Amino acid sequence: MGLPALEFSDCYVDSPQFRERLKSHELELEKTNKFIKELIKDGKALIQALKNLSTAKRKFAESLNEFKFQCIGDAETDDEICIAKSLQEFAGVLQNLEDERTRMIENANDVLISPLERFRKEQIGAAKEAKKKYDKETEKYCTVLEKHLSLSAKKKEAHLHEADNQVDIVRQHFYEVSLEYVFKVQEVQERKMFEFVEPVKLQHIFIILKSFTRSEVECLMKKMKENPHEHKSISPNTMEGYLFVQEKRSFVSTWVKYYCIYHREPKRMTMMLFDQKSGAKNGDEESFTLKSCTRRKTDSIEKRFCFDIEAVDRPGVITMQALSEEDRRLWMEAMDGREPVYTLNRDSQNEAMAQLDVIGFNVVKKFIYAIETRGIDEQGLYRIVGVSSRVQKLLSLAMDPKTCADVELDSTEWEIKTITSAIKHYLRYQSARVAEIHSIVHRLPEKNRQMLELLMKHLAKVASHHQQNLMTVANLGVVFGPTLLRPQEETVAAIMDIKFQNIVIEILIENHERVLCACVCVCRSPASPSPTSPRSPSWPMFSAPSSPQLASSTSSESSPVSPPLRKARALYACKAEHDSELSFIAGTIFENVHPSREPGWLEGTLDGKTGLIPENYVEFV
């Protein structure tokens, strides 16, 4: 069982589970450090033993060479001469062997011992220093936080505001140190696989994979630092974090720090005593079912950020203190029975633009034609990225029916790297991304399969010119693996899986004729609505009623894909449960209906408002 991936998003939660995973990495590094020390010790002993062996063999060879046969009589026979020479020749062979052994021993220190010592001191030593800094910042943050939360709510507003700013600075610095420490641990683990192995067996592919994985993880860490709220892993069904719980004793009450996890669906709260400073659990977990949650009035308690909860299976009221006003707001929203507001994906504009319709296919074909006629032999094709603003401008012009005819890709206005980046950008923002290619190709929706076939034929042609453009199948796999198969949420585990995604793309490019031509288009009818469970989504991401037009459009591989129907009629009435959904009555006509990212849902416009529609509630017109 390998080590668990350390997610950067977990640095902001700092849960006991995260500390345990981090500890497993630290123990592994400690084991590696001890192993390398023993290996260096044994290696030096082996080198010394080889030197002693070489000295002994040389002495033995000298003895053989100096040994003289004394013959009986005045002359030696041929046999006696041959025997005397054989001893000298054997001594010469031994001397030659020891000369080679001496050369090997002289290089052993530079090839084996020095790299191991350098790795242990520079890499593992740096990780130890990072751990000391991390432990120091943990101690500082916990101390400052406890002192801050003990401030009375009756102090002056200016004083409290200044204290809030100070603790925010300390908290942010703690997060940055935590991110850097996790990155360093991940980096050393990655380097261990390559730099530790390289002294034994050097391979060029090691260097490529090493730099690629490390740069990807470092890029993710920088994104997390710049905008942590965007990359935090937040589940809509749970809330977790540290809370201070008031425990009443005989004559005094104390505030004890717990790590709490709240599951919204069963309304179950789990609390565990955990010391961040030592990283140790104290006692067993305690769970109860939530009955109610009430914000504590400011003038009713000395502490700030407090709220009261009542449990079904536990008597009395439990008073809790959050870490900040924002933290209390999140806990209150999670525990009052209301679900979080579902917001449409921030890339919805891009996704609406990148539809698998006639315009989309024509644009991709136009891009591919320009690449194959103008830049098929350019070095680094698809690897070198274009300027983001130029890519966005090209896509907006090409995807707009009013301006698409005016886009001239033959002119020097549009560089090849801009066109290749536009293709990757278009594919990246598909509403139904090709996330199941590595599973079973023939189960892909017909439009996705046709787009995949179009792309793979193009990439196979690019790879056939690899002697000029240096883009081999492996290089194209590195470029398009993350583009087509990377999940929406950026995590370290996802980055570690990139190597498998690259292999999938390589297989598709090399075997595109056999794999894609063998695909069978399975037409599925839409799920029929059920009055008893009208809101249960059907599995197909986008299902239109069977029609002769659909059958005829899929009969030929070369024919373009039919555009998705843009209008739909409601079969049943529906009342929205969330702000992101639309309310409507039977017979309502929706405009601009297209697949949503949510399985079983469509996205459409009604009276100028765009929102989600249950797929099995409508028919297309």
How far is residue 546 from each of residues 331, 359, 461, 554, 618, measured CA to CA in Å?
Answer: 47, 23, 35, 12, 14
Nearest C-alpha neighbor of 355 from the set 445, 441, 454, 429: 429
Tell me which architecture the domain covering 238-335 has in CATH.
Answer: Roll (2.30)
List pLDDT tens digits, range 96-134. Answer: 998 888 888 888 888 888 888 888 888 899 999 999 999
Question: Are the beta carbons of 230 and 489 closer than 8 angstroms?
Answer: no
Q: Which tokens belong to 79?
A: 């046999």
Beta bridge partners of 314: 311
Per DSSP, the residues of 495-561 read HHTHHHHHHHHHHHHHTHHHHHHT------PPPPP-SSSTTPPPSSSS-----HHHHHHTS-TTSPP
* Confidence (pLDDT) at 534: 39
How far apart CA 544 and CA 551 sit, in angstroms, is 12
User: Which helix (H) or strand (E) segment is 107 a member of?
Assistant: helix 78-108
**For 21-67, what is each residue's pLDDT tens digit?**
999 999 999 999 999 899 889 988 998 999 899 899 889 988 888 87
Distances in Å between the alpha carbon of 364 and those of 369, 429, 431? 9, 14, 16
CA atoms of 380 and 601, how far apart (whole Å):
40
Lookup result for tokens 């849960």: 15
CATH of 10-70+78-231, one of 3.20.20.70, 2.30.30.100, 1.20.1270.60, 3.40.50.10680: 1.20.1270.60
- Which CATH fold topology does 548-620 show? SH3 type barrels. (2.30.30)
Dist CA 468 CA 459 (whole Å): 14
The answer to whether the 10-70+78-231 and 548-620 domains have the same CATH topology is no
Which pLDDT score is estimated for 485?
Answer: 75
Q: 3-class SS at 290? A: strand
3-state secondary structure labels for all residues of 293-356: EEECCHHHCCCCCEEEEEECCEEEEEEEECCCHHHHHHHHHHHCCCCCCCCCCCCHHHHHHCCC
Domain edges within the chain = 10-70+78-231, 238-335, 348-517, 548-620
Provide the CATH topology of domain 348-517. Phosphatidylinositol 3-kinase; Chain A (1.10.555)
Please choose, from the candidates 466, 479, 431, 476, the residue with its C-alpha nearest in 3D space to the C-alpha of residue 451: 431
Query: Across the strands, what pairs with 603?
Result: 594, 612
If one counts every other C-beta atom within 10 angstroms of the C-beta of residue 542, the result is 19
What is the phi/psi pair of residue 247, to 5°? -115, 120
- Backbone phi, then psi, for 618, in 5-degree steps? -130, 160
Label residue 16 left, alpha or beta by phi (over 0 means left) and psi (-120 to 50 means alpha).
Answer: alpha
User: Whats the size of the chain, residue-wise?
Assistant: 621
pLDDT below 50 — which residues of the chain? 202-209, 337-348, 431-438, 518-565
SS3 content of the chain, % helix, strand, coil (to 5): 55, 15, 35
CA angle 111, 114, 120 (to 5 degrees): 125
Identity of the amino acid at 462: V
What span, in angstroms and rounded, lies between the C-alpha atoms of 364 and 346? Answer: 24
Closest CA to 451 of 550, 361, 562: 361
Q: Phi and psi dihedrals of 306, rounded to 5?
A: -100, 155
| pLDDT at residue 9, as a whole number | 86
Put simply, whether the predicted model's pTM sits higher than 0.85 gets the answer no
Residue 304 · residue 164 · CB < 8 Å? no
Partnered with residue 589 across adjacent β-strands are 569
